């Protein structure tokens, strides 16, 4: 039976020599500035698993607006030319963001939705 590793807390976990070596060898960066390669790879992997990348490409094509987690949208937003609206609603606990390409290309109903959601946007 394999040994159990308790990862509930950094005060409970006792890293093995292999874990310590992995931490020592890890590439470093700052996730706030978007230059932590490990965090970036994790976000890209999560996006590919859940189809968020595809959702952002549909937005880029001007075919839709999308509601995606903030962490997924922030890095590719500039490259894809997307506008982001950070939601500050109680139901948006995961810090979702509304993504769209150009307001002028949205249908009147989509424009009204974006304007409504933006009125509740976080500063």
Per residue of the chain (123 residues), what is the pLDDT tens digit? 566 766 676 677 777 899 889 888 988 888 667 788 887 787 777 666 667 777 888 788 877 788 788 777 888 888 888 888 877 666 656 566 777 778 788 888 888 888 887 887 766
Chain centroid to CA 119: how far? 22
| DSSP-assigned letters across all residues of 41-96 | HHHHHHHHHHTHHHHHHHHHTTS--EEEEHHHHHHHHHHHT-EEEEB--TT-TT-E
What is the C-alpha to C-alpha distance for residues 15 and 119, in angstroms, rounded to an integer? 47
Over the range 18-41, which residues count as b (16 or more CB within 10 Å of their CB) and which as e?
Answer: eeeeeeeeeeeeeeeeeebeebee
Picking from 92, 86, 70, the residue whose alpha carbon sits closest to that of residue 123 is 86
With a CB cutoff of 8 Å and minimum separation 6, the contacts of 28 are 36
Write down the pTM of the prediction: 0.39
């Amino acid at each position: 039976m394999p040994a159990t590793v308790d990862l509930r807390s950094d005060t409970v976990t006792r890293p093995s020599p292999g874990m310590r070596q992995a931490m020592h060898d890890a590439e470093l960066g700052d996730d706030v500035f978007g230059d932590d390669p490990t965090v970036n790879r994790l976000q890209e992997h999560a996006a590919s698993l859940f189809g968020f990348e595809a959702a952002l490409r549909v937005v880029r094509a001007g075919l839709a607006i999308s509601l995606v987690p903030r962490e997924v949208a922030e890095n590719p937003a500039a490259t894809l030319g997307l506008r982001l609206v950070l939601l500050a609603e109680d139901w948006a606990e995961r810090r979702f963001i509304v993504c769209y390409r150009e307001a002028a290309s949205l249908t009147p109903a989509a424009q009204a939705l974006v304007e409504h959601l933006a009125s509740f946007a976080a500063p």
